[in-house]
């Protein structure tokens, strides 16, 4: 994604504190207070311009969604969508995913979405991939037992890597689709990127993986 500096982004974020949560560390363990209910919380790591979470928020009003996005110049588009659609079950955090445990407590999140994450194709950048074991460990620290990661990408190499990484970490694969848009999967909400690239005939890969840390 091209990053364009937007000098007004920071002010825009501050002005929309209903959707863009400032100082989110103060809500660690208390996100149900922010939403005013005890519905499950699903987060998306790398929310980008927010089309996926805006769509999911509308499709599933009984789920609370929180989008994490590092770049302020990008998250403003997601905030604008939440404002325009008045999505009470969507919040956005302009923070770094590696600090997730500063913002969420153990068992506070039910599901993590990863959509079209940066593939970091060079071997020396493996650790930056959001499906690298250190990230899987981070997600585990904030997810409920038996929590899930739902991941889609058009990048074959990242998908292959991620399946192996999930398996090595001990996650159980429970759903795999190797050509999402030619499948009978229902309820798919496309990201901006997905719309653009699947239109060109690019395959979309999707997997659901589950942490096997449940009490037995």
Residues engaged in binding a second copy (CB under 8 A) = 156, 159-160, 163-164, 167-168, 172-179, 205
167: which residues sit within 8 A by CB, 6+ positions away? 173
The nearer residue to a second copy, 58 or 183, going by C-beta atoms, is: 183
The nearer residue to a second copy, 3 or 123, going by C-beta atoms, is: 123
User: In angstroms, what is the minimal distance from the CB of 177 to a second copy?
Assistant: 7
How many angstroms separate the Cα of 139 from the Cα of each of 16, 19, 107, 215? 27, 23, 10, 18
Angular region, 149: left φ>0, alpha ψ -120 to 50, beta rest: beta
Q: Report DSSP state, residue 171.
A: P
The nearer residue to a second copy, 33 or 168, going by C-beta atoms, is: 168
The nearer residue to a second copy, 52 or 169, going by C-beta atoms, is: 169
User: In angstroms, what is the minimal distance from the CB of 126 to a second copy?
Assistant: 16
- Could you please report the per-residue DSSP string of 29-77? T-HHHHHTS---EEEEES-TT-HHHHHHHHH-TTSEEEEE-S-HHHHHH
Query: Are 214 and 145 a contacting pair, CB within 8 Å?
Result: yes
User: In angstroms, what is the minimal distance from the CB of 18 to a second copy?
Assistant: 41
User: In angstroms, what is the minimal distance from the CB of 61 to a second copy?
Assistant: 30
In the structure encoding, which two tokens stand for residue 107, read together? 């068992």
Whether 184 sits among the annotated catalytic residues: the reply is no
Q: Which of 62, 118, 179, 184 is catalytic?
A: 118
Q: Report DSSP state, residue 7.
A: T
Which residues have a catalytic role annotated? Answer: 118
């Amino acid at each position: 994604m091209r990053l364009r500096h937007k000098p007004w982004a920071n002010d825009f974020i501050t002005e929309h504190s209903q959707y863009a949560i400032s100082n989110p560390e103060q809500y660690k363990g208390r996100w149900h207070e922010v939403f005013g209910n005890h519905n499950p919380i699903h987060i998306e790591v790398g929310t980008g311009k927010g089309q996926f979470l805006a769509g999911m928020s509308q499709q599933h009003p009984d789920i609370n969604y929180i989008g994490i996005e590092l770049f302020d110049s990008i998250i403003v588009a997601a905030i604008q969508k939440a404002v325009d659609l008045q999505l009470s079950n969507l919040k956005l955090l302009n923070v770094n995913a590696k600090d997730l445990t500063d913002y969420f407590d153990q068992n506070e999140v039910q599901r993590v979405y990863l959509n079209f994450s940066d593939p970091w194709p060079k071997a020396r950048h493996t650790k930056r991939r959001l499906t690298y074991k250190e990230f899987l460990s981070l997600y585990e620290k904030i997810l409920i037992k038996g929590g899930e990661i739902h991941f889609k990408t058009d990048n074959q190499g990242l998908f292959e890597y991620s399946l192996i990484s999930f398996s090595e970490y001990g996650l159980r694969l429970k759903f795999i689709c190797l050509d999402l848009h030619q499948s009978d999967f229902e309820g798919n909400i496309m990201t901006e990127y997905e719309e653009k690239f699947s239109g060109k005939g690019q395959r979309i890969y999707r997997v659901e993986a589950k942490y096997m840390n449940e009490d037995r």
